[in-house]
Amino acid sequence: MGAVDDELVLAFRVARSGLAAREARPLAEAAACPAPDFSRDAALLALAARSDAVTPEGFAAAVDAGDEIVMAHVIRGAIHVVARADWALYGRALLASDDAELGAQLGRQVQKLSAEHDIAPTAALEEVAAAIGDALGGGAALDRTALHQAMRERVRPELLPWCRGCESHHVAPMLWRFATVAAGARLDEQRRYVLDDPGAAPDPAEAVRRFLRFYGPATAGDFAEWAGLARPHARRLWDAVAGELADVDGKRAVLAADVDALADPPAASGLRLLPPGDPLLQKVNRTVLAPDEAVRKRLFRPVASPGVVLRDGRLAGMWRAKASGRTLTVSVEALARLRRGDVAAEAQRVADLRGLQGLELEIA
């Protein structure tokens, strides 16, 4: 295909992320691209940026029921909100079965424990998953503290390293998170872990297709990083769909079915306040969204990143929010011209979604 510049790539990804226009999308459609929930109300705000139909009450009820959307540890072991139908795809289907690849997926701490105690990563994952399944059996609902205690009572001491931060012994973070995936655990609206059935794992190569629908054009390395997989694991899945891909620039590929959409994506309109960690703000998008390196460093920090003001599909500012009592203070740093009325309307929407009545808006 012809040359594809970053403007086209960004416009394509914005549209595929559901941000070209906000419509009354069902929750499952708004959550089609996994929405991280690592900061306060992040997934709620991400879905609300894509759908006018989202309310805090409806979101909480849907998370609690788990029928339309699911909040669970999935890709990279992180908590995301996904469509119920996609839970197994982004969770169990992407669990490595090879010990070396699973060790890479579970991280260095687990690799070290495995080497020190001669415990295969697959065996460690199976043991912790069984402990979680036992602890959550019979309809139990446990918060993270209670779940950790339950694991302490059920797994061998070698899988309970000392944690300086917690000042206690507990299962390594990536191990227990992925064990919830294997066990079929999700979170309810009180963020307690409950057992459920995600169903049989589908063909994991489908995750490559989904990734490219939202983040194409991209490379196998981009997919590996997004999904949190070892490079050989990701490459096998990528190669499984190679016949469905179209080369873009000798490095990146897009689904052949998306070539026309990439060449002529719809124009985005309107202003959105995207939360930190929003699907559009994943690493693969950062250079096209914020070409200036200095801006990127301020926008994507190791901790406490701000949110993004998106205007007509482009970066227009950064924002932070702080609640005090029943009032939300939203501070915006403009990187492009912003109309106060548009920002105020979106900031009030954020306040409403978080159940706060008052709003103070600061724009610099």
Query: Is residue 4 over pLDDT 90?
Result: no
Band of the pLDDT at 2, cuts 50, 70, 90? Answer: low
pLDDT at 183: 98
If phi over 0 gives left and psi between -120 and 50 gives alpha, with beta otherwise, what is residue 139? left
Band of the pLDDT at 167, cuts 50, 70, 90? Answer: confident
CA 295 to chain centre: 22
Within 10 A of 284 (CB to CB), how many other CB atoms are there?
18
pLDDT digits (tens, 9 = 90+) for 220-278: 999 999 999 999 999 999 999 999 999 999 899 999 999 999 999 999 999 999 999 99
Query: Is residue 140 over pLDDT 90?
Result: yes
pLDDT digits (tens, 9 = 90+) for 291-350: 999 999 999 998 899 999 999 999 999 999 999 999 999 999 999 999 999 999 999 999
pLDDT at 166: 80
Query: Is residue 3 over pLDDT 90?
Result: no
Band of the pLDDT at 1, cuts 50, 70, 90? Answer: low
Alpha-helical regions (H) of 255-360: 259-263, 286-289, 293-299, 340-353
**Which residue is listed with tokens 């629908």?**
213
Alpha-carbon gap, residue 176 to 158, rounded angstroms:
14
Determine contact, residues 86/32, Cβ cutoff 8 Å: yes
pTM for the structure as a whole: 0.96
The amino acid that residue 229 corresponds to is L
